[in-house]
Every structure is written in structure tokens, then in C-alpha cells.
Chains A and B, each alone.
Chain A
């Protein structure tokens, strides 16, 4: 390929001579660890919540799921599946969305957002997998979907299980360069030399894993919708549609961008950095198409199925409107104005609105609009809520720890001027 057809990629990698030449290796990287105070009150609180969660889980593993949850035969899936797993996976889609923007659609300006989004995705998927682990009854057999003699191609859940496991591997591989960058700043050692040697090899094959990650993501994000296609008899008609897989995929992509926006703003606050505003408003602009199309498909589907009038005749219709106003209509309207997109305060709250709407959507499809039999009801116990909270806390605590210790965030001078 012509050497001059595109700008030279990243700064070249440090050889042994390079390292010897430069005392501060970070000067040669666009990213650096933050190295701020770790144990702030917020961080300590997070760790405390995690500790309580672990204690509760001990009880769950000794005495069974019934001991700390309100799950029942009428509601075999509750808060943990709906929130920790289904919402968690949707919110963690920022990793594959930013990777696709930068490495497939070549929008290099977004590259400062890639690694933080990757860290969020890694933590999000790790926690979603953990959420499955604590929720399934026979957790010691959780590897069964990998074994070919157990494969069951009709089950959307089988596909989700395989995809989440393999995507977690892909995320770890995508995260490896960050660890290697960190290792290459260590004092000279075998590990360091290994890291420096393996870096170029990893770079050569990385694009394959990035594309693989995108493919796997589209597969399981949509299949999380397919799971509910078996429940035509239980899921309310306003939410049941053969288009569920497409709707789940599109909403995951849109919300991924807004999670990146919120994550970037929060981390700017945590580490006292400038908000990467031009990038974030660009991202917000790109999310409009997905949000808008999502709302249009949702409406068209209801009109097509002749269920449009249901939107005005029952409380379910009201719930639907709240969901679609939050995840769709209002954000699309607001984001179409430059002034709102470019104002950090507005953008922050619009993004939260999108995230809130997505959470409501997943809860509707997996819990609220699922009709129970024989008068079963479900409301999570305090313990279920605390365990879910400690999973969220782990993501925040983990994000702070990783970006503090590893070169995740771009150096500020390298960022585009606002």
C-alpha cells in the first residue's frame, strides 16, 4: 500500500534502544496513567458496597437462590437477569461501537474515546458474565454451552452464552496493548522485553479481533431480543414483535454512544480533566440516526400489527410512551439542535435520559410487560438490589483503578482543541 496514502498510524513502538534513550517513556505514548489519589470517599464507598454484595452472595451460594431473592415459579427471572445481564450488556456496547467508528470507518478523531470505552465494555461484560454466574442454579456446569455435544442451535440463549464468552476473550485481547504499554515502562526485565516484542505482532492481528468483536456484538445484542420471541403468550403485544432482535441491536448501538459520553464526562470530573467536548457532540450527532430509526421502526411495527390504538387505551400505552419519549423522541429532538449537543450540561442529561430510557425498555421487555400466571407477583428484595448495586459499584471502582494505573486516557495536550 502506498506509504503516503494515509497518515502514519501511531507513534512507533519503543525498542530497547528507545527506552534507554528516554527516561520517561510516557512521553512517547499518546496515553498515560492518571496516577491520582485512589482512595477517595467515593472509591471507598464503592468498595464497601462490593464487600456487602460479596457477603450476600455467600448466603446465596450456601442456601440457594431462594434465600436472598424473591424469584418464583411465576418470575424465574428477576432483577439480576433484567438489570445485571440484559441492561448491562446493552450499556457495555460502547466498546464495539467506538472500535468500529475508529478502526473500521476510520474516524480517527474518536480514538481518544476507544480505550476508556473498551475498559467500560470489559468491566461491563465481566460483570454481566458474573451476573449470569450468580443467577444460574448449576453454576459449576456453566461451561456446558461450549461443549459441542450440548450445542442447541434453536436457543437464542445458547448463542448469547457463546457470544458473551467469546466476546469477553476478544475484549481481553483488545485490552492487552494497554497492559503491554504499562509493562514497557517497567524497569528492564524479562516481562518487559516480552511485552515489547509481542506488541507489533498483536498490532498486526488486532484488526481481525476488532472486526470479530463487532460481528459477535451484533449477533448477541440482537439475540438478547430473540430470547423473548419464545414468549408470544406472555409478553404484552406492545412489546412483542418479530422485530425485537433488530430493535435490541439498534438501541444497544445508540445507547453505547451515550454511555461513552457519560463515562467520558464522569472520568473528566474524577481525574480533573478537560471534557472531550467536540468528540462527544460528534458522537451524540451520530446517535441521532440510530435513535430516530429505532423509534420509526417501533411505530411502524405497531401500525402494521394494528396495535397502534393500544397506545391510548390502557396503562401499558402510557408505559410505552414514557419509554419511547425517553429512549428516542425527546433526545432526537434535543440533539438535532447544535446548541444542546455542544453544551456539556445539556448533553450530559440528554445522555442520561437515553440510558434511563434504555433501562426502562429492557425492564419492560424482560419484567414489567411479561404476564405472570396464576397471580404470581415479583418485587426484588433489598438483597437483590444491593447485589446489583455492588455490580455497578465494581464497574465504577474498576474503571477508576484501571485508568489510574494503566495508560487508558489520552494525554490532555494530545486532545483536539475545543
Chain B
């Protein structure tokens, strides 16, 4: 395995340069990052107005033709989100406290699923909607593991399975219509608008009726903020909406990943270092037992 050192170094340098170029072009800019979320489309779920009729749930199911398969427990109370239920109403009841909770994709400002997806099948669009492209998806389910709200669902019993979750009715929004669940709601518990607008409206409702509401808009800052925000009369923790702090959840992982691979410096440096180690080790004392070339 003889190769003179100059040739070796030259080849290494070339390889390093090549890597740097392609790394700079692609890995350094992993998709656009939104800074201002105020004008994103958003949805306010005012749980104090919800009467648990599940009109949103069945509107969603029939609009997206989702009832062709998927488990149902009883007539109208599926166990939870599933590949056939993108929007689910569940009841919370303990003692005198009672509330319904609408579960769906939160369309996070900093979505973990988007950060996780190895092939950019999940993407955060300019209007804030987190979309899914089955033609890119490899079905690895990292999004499901990563999602703090446990939203994405997988078609376990299909030979060509897809990830299923609330699409925020992206085509309807693009056509100037409202999401189907918002249209279906008879009590105006669901409001559709921009994020700024709805946050203002949510705070107005709390200020007007402080006894009716918990003094918090869930999703305003939680996990870096979400597009789907909640008002409730009981504490969010009891409804399964957990407190994740204000830091966006993917931040640490992305910092580490981009730190290690910034412009591909570390791997290229390692390549060079190992090459130099090899080159310098070739010149040791041949009588040393530990220094025999094969």
C-alpha cells in the first residue's frame, strides 16, 4: 500500500475542496427559516365554547374521505388521532371540572417533524402550514417519534402507507375558503385568521371574561409557539397540552448538527488529520515491533 506522501496530500486536498464546495451549496442552507409568525394562518380553538358535538370531526372525515379504514371505538368516539381521524374531540371530566379538547396538528412555528424529516417530505410553508408530500416520504416515522404533540399517524395496515395528519385544509385556504372544521362548528368555538389577529382576539376574550378562562393562551409561546392556539376553562396540562417551555424544541438538535457539520469543516479536517497521522506513522523505526507495515 505504497503511495508517496505528496500524491496523497494532493488527492486529499482535492477531495476536501470538492466536499467543501458541495457542502457550502446545500447543507449550509437547510431551508428557509421564518422569523415573523404574525401573518401566518392560524386557528383559535376556544374550548369553553365547544359543546362536544363533533361536527368538526365528522366534517373533516367526510371532506377528506377518511372513513374508508381505520379503527373506530363505538359510533362517534374514536380512540384518538389516527390515520383516519385528523381532528378529534375528546372529553375531559373530573369531579365538577369538565371540558372538551380538540386534538389536531398544531402547525408549530418551529416544527420538530420538519426538523426530523430526512427527505423534506414535511415542510413548513410560507403561510405557516406544515405540509406533507408522500412522493418524498420514505416512511421512516422519525416525525412521529419527534412530534411533541404526538400528532402524525402512520397507515400501519397498508402496503403503501402514508403519514396522515391535519393539513390545515391547505387547498381550501389557497382558494380563499376556511378550513372545514371551522365551517362546521355550530358554536363558533373555532376561529380562523392570522396569528396576530387571533392572539389579540384570545387576549381580548380573557380580559373580558377572566373567570371563564385560564389566564394563558396555549400555543402563544409554548415550544416556540404554534399556529393552532387554545383557550380553555381548565388547566391545559389536564387536557394533555403539556408545558414544553418557550424554547423551540428542535433548537438543540439543530445547533449540534449544524455545529458539527458547519461547511463540512470537521469531517474534512478529520480526513486531513488521519491522512497526516498515516503519513507520519509510515516513518517510524522499522525495528519497533509495533511498527510493521502489513
Interface residues of A (CB under 8 A from B): 1, 4-10, 61-67, 71-74, 76-77, 100, 102-109, 111, 132, 135-139, 141-142, 144-145, 148, 150-161, 203-204, 206-208, 211-212, 214-215, 218-219, 222-223, 226-227, 229-234, 242, 245, 370, 373-374
Q: A10-B294, A233-B148 known; A61 and B159 CB under 8 Å?
A: yes
Q: Which residues of A contact B291 (CB under 8 A)?
A: 6, 106-108
Does B53 sit at the interface, judged by CB under 8 A? no
Over the window 251-294 of chain B, the binary record of Cβ atoms lying under 8 Å from chain A Cβ atoms (1 yes, 0 no) is 01110111011000001001100110110011110100111111
Query: How far does the Cβ of B11 sit from chain A's closest Cβ, in whole Å?
Result: 6
Pick the contact of A73 from B28, B139, B153, B261 — CB < 8 Å? B153
Q: Which residues of A contact B289 (CB under 8 A)?
A: 109
Pick the contact of B119 from A139, A158, A245 — CB < 8 Å? A158
Q: Which residues of B contact A141 (CB under 8 A)?
A: 119, 135-139
Q: Which residues of B contact A102 (CB under 8 A)?
A: 294
Pick the contact of B267 from A64, A219, A226 — CB < 8 Å? A219
Pick the contact of A211 from B116, B148, B271, B283 — CB < 8 Å? B271
Beyond A106-B281, A229-B256, 14 additional contacts (C-beta under 8 Å) are A4-B286, A6-B284, A63-B159, A66-B157, A76-B144, A104-B281, A108-B293, A141-B139, A144-B119, A150-B119, A152-B30, A155-B116, A157-B140, A158-B119
Nearest to A203 among chain B residues (CB) is B1
Q: How far is the CA of A417 from the CA of B189 in the complex (A)?
A: 82
Q: Which residues of B contact A105 (CB under 8 A)?
A: 277, 281
User: Can you name 6 A-B pairs with beta carbons within 8 Å?
Assistant: A5-B282, A7-B293, A67-B157, A152-B119, A218-B267, A229-B253
Instruction: Choose among B15, B134, B141, B275 the residue with the greatest number of A CB atoms under 10 Å from its CB.
Output: B141
Q: Which residues of B contact A132 (CB under 8 A)?
A: 140
Q: Is the CB of B257 within 8 A of A108?
A: no
Q: Which residues of A contact B30 (CB under 8 A)?
A: 151-154
Q: Is the CB of A211 within 8 A of B119?
A: no
Pick the contact of B116 from A106, A157, A215 — CB < 8 Å? A157
Query: How far does the Cβ of A207 sit from chain B's closest Cβ, in whole Å?
Result: 6
Q: Is the CB of B146 within 8 A of A73?
A: no
Q: Is the CB of A136 within 8 A of B150?
A: no
Q: Is the CB of B256 within 8 A of A245?
A: yes
Nearest to A214 among chain B residues (CB) is B274
Per DSSP, chain A at the interface is helix
Instruction: Choose among A10, A153, A157, A370 the residue with the greatest number of B CB atoms under 10 Å from its CB.
Output: A153
Pick the contact of B157 from A1, A63, A109, A160 — CB < 8 Å? A63
Query: How far does the Cβ of B19 sit from chain A's closest Cβ, in whole Å?
Result: 10
Q: How far is the CA of A152 from the CA of B253 in the complex (A)?
A: 13
Q: Which residues of A contact B115 (CB under 8 A)?
A: 154-155, 230
> Which residues of chain B from 146 to 185 have a CB within 8 Å of any chain A CB?
146, 148, 150, 153-162
Does B244 sit at the interface, judged by CB under 8 A? yes
Does B3 sit at the interface, judged by CB under 8 A? yes
Q: A73-B154, A103-B1 known; A226 and B27 CB under 8 Å?
A: no
Pick the contact of B286 from A6, A154, A370 — CB < 8 Å? A6
Nearest to B112 among chain A residues (CB) is A230
Q: Is the CB of A73 within 8 A of B82?
A: yes
Q: Which residues of B contact A222 (CB under 8 A)?
A: 260
Q: A138-B161, A154-B115, A155-B117 known; A204 and B26 CB under 8 Å?
A: no
Does B2 sit at the interface, judged by CB under 8 A? yes
Q: Which residues of B contact A203 (CB under 8 A)?
A: 1
Does B249 sit at the interface, judged by CB under 8 A? yes
Q: Which residues of A contact B119 (CB under 8 A)?
A: 141, 144-145, 150, 152, 158
6 nearest CB pairs, A to B: A137-B139, A66-B156, A158-B118, A153-B30, A108-B292, A106-B281
Q: Which residues of A contact B31 (CB under 8 A)?
A: 152, 154
Q: Is the CB of B257 within 8 A of A154?
A: yes
Q: Is the CB of B145 within 8 A of A1?
A: no
Nearest to A366 among chain B residues (CB) is B145
Q: A64-B157, A152-B31, A153-B258 known; A145 and B118 CB under 8 Å?
A: yes
Q: Is the CB of B26 within 8 A of A148?
A: yes
Pick the contact of A64 from B137, B144, B150, B156 — CB < 8 Å? B156
Instruction: Choose among A8, A137, A222, A242 the residue with the greatest number of B CB atoms under 10 Å from its CB.
Output: A137
Q: Is the CB of A138 within 8 A of B146?
A: no
Does B210 sit at the interface, judged by CB under 8 A? no
Q: Is the CB of B146 within 8 A of A136?
A: no
Instruction: Choose among A160, A161, A373 the residue with the greatest number of B CB atoms under 10 Å from its CB.
Output: A373
Q: Which residues of A contact B284 (CB under 8 A)?
A: 6, 106
Q: Is the CB of A109 within 8 A of B112?
A: no
Over the window 64-106 of chain B, the binary record of Cβ atoms lying under 8 Å from chain A Cβ atoms (1 yes, 0 no) is 0000000000000000111000000000000000000000000
Pick the contact of A154 from B4, B15, B153, B258 — CB < 8 Å? B258
Does B193 sit at the interface, judged by CB under 8 A? no
Q: Is the CB of B81 within 8 A of A137?
A: no
Q: Is the CB of B80 within 8 A of A6?
A: no
Q: Which residues of B contact A161 (CB under 8 A)?
A: 118
Does B250 sit at the interface, judged by CB under 8 A? yes
Nearest to B242 among chain A residues (CB) is A233
Q: Is the CB of A229 within 8 A of B252?
A: yes
Query: How far does the Cβ of A160 sit from chain B's closest Cβ, in whole Å?
Result: 8
Q: How far is the CA of A5 from the CA of B145 in the complex (A)?
A: 55
Q: Is the CB of B271 within 8 A of A136?
A: no
Q: How far is the CA of A208 from the CA of B27 in the complex (A)?
A: 23
Q: Which residues of B contact A374 (CB under 8 A)?
A: 80, 150, 240
Q: Which residues of B contact A373 (CB under 8 A)?
A: 150
